[in-house]
Structure 1
Amino acid sequence: MKRETGKMNGDTMVRTLRIGFSVLALAAFAAPGASWAQQAGDGSVPGLKLSNSKDPVKIDADKLEMRDKEGVAVFTGNVAVSQGDALLKAGQMTVYYSKAKKGDEAPEPANAGVGGIGSSSIDHIDIAGKVYLKSGTQVATGDTGRYDAKNQIMVLQGQKVVLTDGDNIVTGCKLTAHLDTGRANVESCKGQTKGRVSIIMAPKDQQQGGAAPKRN
């Protein structure tokens, strides 16, 4: 994790960080032509991408509700999305699709899924219920999250949002990740005098696994 210059504005501190959360790479969450009804029996979904890994993506949930006419898919209860070492866990995940405009939509296969949702692209995704994001050594937690597919922005919010990378820890109330640039802003809690961004950086020798110096 690379720490860059922070911006101070009164009691609000925004610390800009460089992070490599491939688990936030939800831009290709559902490729055109992919259909929930076409997914394999093991839960893997064609076209679904959670990281740069070539491993299949698997979605587990207690319940899946398809709102065909609304273009909405709601995963509820112990939601877990995994691909390789990337993992997303939450109580609920709601996927909102935006239908292709007339003339732009490619011919749909005869075995296309429910309501043609497979021919749609993602507009945004709402995540709620103890959100947990993990990729490699990096972990982010919060109460709710939203992914804006058009602007490639992931926002994680809560009373305490925590971003960790190994022994490095950043806490705040809002994490905004710009997926196109790999830049993220961690903001403090507004209206709280003690709501500041907290950063704990481990010593370099500790991060590299070096032994602590001996004392005489």
Structure 2
Amino acid sequence: MKKIFFTTLLLTSFIFKAQDLPKGFVYLEDIAPSIKVELRYLSNNNFIGKPIEGYKSNCVIITKETAVLLKKIQQELLKKELSLKIFDAYRPQQAVNHFVKWARVLNDTLMKKEYYPNVAKSTLFKKGYIASKSGHSRGSTVDLTIVNTKTNKELNMGSPYDFFGIKSHPFNQSITKIEKQNRMLLRKVMVDNGFNPYKNEWWHFTLKKEPFPKTYFNFLIN
């Protein structure tokens, strides 16, 4: 049984069985099963240090249009013995709400050393690291990197995923030549295949022609 609730913020919630996704969404595994997945918000390995609300399974849910293009990119990379690896894709609004709630508790700095050593937690809203609404909740944004399929190791991008700081800006000059090349490899293959990059995060890309540009979903990742 599916129930749909609309709020004044245009948030859309669905309660559904694991295979019963909202129209327009797919499980990436059904389209491109070779893409590697490590949903960080399902684990303790993230900037909060605990699993995030709304994440129940290590599976990528995304709009169909996004999945089709990710499959195309993956096919290109596999020829070079490389693979995409996804850290986050569709993100429920309840997860975003979890981030906001956490950001307001200034003494909760469990993961500061790993994820935001040079940024005061009190400035996370002002600097744009935390927001009340995320493009991820529209279903066509992905956080990802590239993996060497021979070694199964991520390419060195000069900063970890979700690192809050200028070192994560795509064109930051403090990283090495190889790290810059790796970032540009990811950026080029994504942009060439219909994605817009984000100026502050080397890992963040949004489909240029996203099907739900003004709708923020709130169904579980199940």
TM-score range, shorter chain: under 0.3
Q: Which structure is higher in RCO with an 8 Å CA cutoff and minimum separation 6?
A: 2
**Structure with more of its chain in helix, by fraction:** 2
**Structure with more of its chain in strand, by fraction:** 1
Question: TM-score scaled to structure 1, two decimals?
Answer: 0.25
